[in-house]
Amino acid sequence: MDIEKVTYCIYVFCEKKQELTKRKHKCSTLYVGETVDFKKRMDIYLRKDESKSIFSSNDLLAKFNKYLFRIKKPLLSSVPFNKIEKRLYTFPKLKDDDYRKEVEGYLINRLNPLLNRTKKEGKFELNYKKFKNIKNELTFEDYREDCHESFSDWYWNREDIGETETIYSVKLRRYVNRDSLLGEKAMERNFDKKYNTWFWKTNELQFQFDLWKTNYDKWLKNLRYR
Topology of domain 3-133 in CATH is GIY-YIG endonuclease (3.40.1440)
Task: Name the residue ranges covered by the structural domains of the chain.
Answer: 3-133, 140-222
Which residue ranges in the chain fall short of pLDDT 50? none
Q: What is the pLDDT of residue 135?
A: 52
The H helix count followed by the E strand count for the chain is 8, 5
Q: What is the pLDDT of residue 84?
A: 97
Q: What is the pLDDT of residue 68?
A: 95
Q: What is the pLDDT of residue 13?
A: 98
Q: What is the DSSP string of 122-178?
A: S-----HHHHHHS-TT--HHHHHHHHHHHHHHHHTT-SSS---SEEEETTTTEEEET
Alpha-carbon span 190 to 184, nearest angstrom: 10
Q: What is the pLDDT of residue 162?
A: 58
